[in-house]
């Protein structure tokens, strides 16, 4: 096999996914194992790409990067399936976006006759839900929701979150606000003491890109334009280099910048319940 140097793997892409959506990065088809091992080796040799000490623990417990990937995947599945316990008969369930939520959608499909439908936070999740034969409804028609289940890119001890790695932060925030209970499903790598290691996503109206970039730089961050268009037709700036000691205050400050649609801080409305797919599983 040809040697692939770490610098040939896009550092920003790995940072943005936090080593969690490798299956979506695999190219070309049929080279999945080779590619995943290369990215895993890169992450293992660059501690800045590992959000918590969990990765060091995983490295010690598993002999290969591919085993490490399998462990994280299993943690996502465990957390997602545990969240099904919060789904009650006749509910309309708010459904988030991301690789962990994909496992929740698969589990929800097993009890789809028990629920009245779903409200989806992204076109991607909508497609997955409909592929399982699950009804997707308009939030304007459903009114308040009893339950919203979604993942996170980071979660602190106060259940404040960074979200938006998948680009659906605005719709996710709307559904979270409309829901009585927000259950956040994570693998252990997402749990942090202080938010900010994961680049903070901000959805921005395109004409305001330079203005918002300047204002974010004043706050001490390094905004980088993501090569991505949201489901709402906007752009995303990922802000690197932040240590967010006051998530509520920073959320308020960034949301006040003209041109910002919303920031991927879920602090004013944090999660109510966090399910961490560890061994043993933790609910807090």
Which residues of the chain are under the pLDDT cut of 70?
1-64
**Would you state the structure tokens that stand for residue 228, as one six-digit string?**
């991505």
Place of tokens 């949301």: 255
Question: What are the tens digits of pLDDT across the range 231-279?
Answer: 999 999 999 999 999 999 999 999 999 999 999 999 999 999 999 999 8
Q: What pLDDT does residue 69 have?
A: 86
Q: What pLDDT does residue 170 have?
A: 98
Q: What pLDDT does residue 104 have?
A: 98
Q: What pLDDT does residue 130 have?
A: 98
Q: What pLDDT does residue 128 have?
A: 98
- What is the distance between the alpha carbons of residues 67 and 63, in angstroms, rounded to a whole number? 7
Structural domain boundaries in the chain: 6-70, 77-192+269-283, 200-265
Q: What pLDDT does residue 202 have?
A: 98
Q: What pLDDT does residue 246 have?
A: 98
172-183 as b/e: b if 16+ CB within 10 A: bbebbebbeebb
Kindly list the catalytic residues: 172
Q: What pLDDT does residue 5 have?
A: 38
- What is the distance between the alpha carbons of residues 182 and 171, in angstroms, rounded to a whole number? 14
> What CATH fold (topology level) applies to the domain 200-265?
Alpha-Beta Plaits (3.30.70)
Length of the chain as a residue count = 284
Distance (Å) of CA 282 to CA 60, 74, 236: 21, 14, 32
Q: What pLDDT does residue 66 have?
A: 78
Q: What pLDDT does residue 60 have?
A: 54
Place of tokens 């690197």: 240
CB 247, CB 160: distance < 8 Å: yes
User: CATH code for 77-192+269-283?
Assistant: 3.40.50.1360
């Amino acid at each position: 096999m040809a040697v692939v140097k770490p610098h040939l793997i896009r550092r920003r892409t790995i940072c943005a996914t936090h080593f969690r959506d490798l299956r979506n990065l695999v190219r070309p088809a049929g080279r999945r194992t080779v590619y995943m091992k290369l990215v895993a080796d890169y992450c293992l040799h660059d501690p800045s790409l590992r959000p918590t000490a969990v990765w060091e623990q995983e490295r010690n417990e598993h002999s290969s990067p591919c085993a490490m990937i399998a462990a994280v995947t299993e943690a996502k599945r465990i957390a997602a399936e545990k969240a099904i316990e919060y789904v009650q008969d006749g509910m309309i369930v708010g459904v988030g976006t991301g690789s962990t939520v994909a496992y929740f959608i698969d589990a929800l499909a097993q009890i789809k006759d028990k629920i009245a439908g779903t409200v989806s936070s992204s076109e991607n999740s909508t497609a997955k839900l409909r592929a399982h034969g699950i009804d997707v409804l308009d939030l304007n028609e459903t009114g308040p929701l009893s339950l919203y289940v979604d993942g996170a890119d980071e979660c602190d001890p106060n259940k404040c979150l960074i979200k938006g790695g998948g680009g659906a932060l605005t719709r996710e925030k709307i559904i979270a606000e409309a829901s009585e209970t927000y259950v956040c499903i994570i693998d252990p790598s997402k749990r942090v003491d202080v938010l900010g290691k994961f680049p903070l996503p901000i959805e921005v109206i395109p004409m305001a890109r330079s203005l918002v970039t300047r204002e974010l730089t004043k706050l001490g961050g390094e905004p980088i334009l993501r090569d991505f268009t949201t489901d709402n037709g906007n752009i995303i700036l990922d802000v690197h280099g932040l240590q967010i000691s006051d998530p509520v205050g920073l959320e308020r400050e960034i949301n006040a910048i003209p041109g910002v649609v919303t920031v991927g801080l879920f602090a004013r409305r944090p999660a109510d319940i966090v399910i961490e797919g560890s061994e043993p599983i933790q609910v807090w």
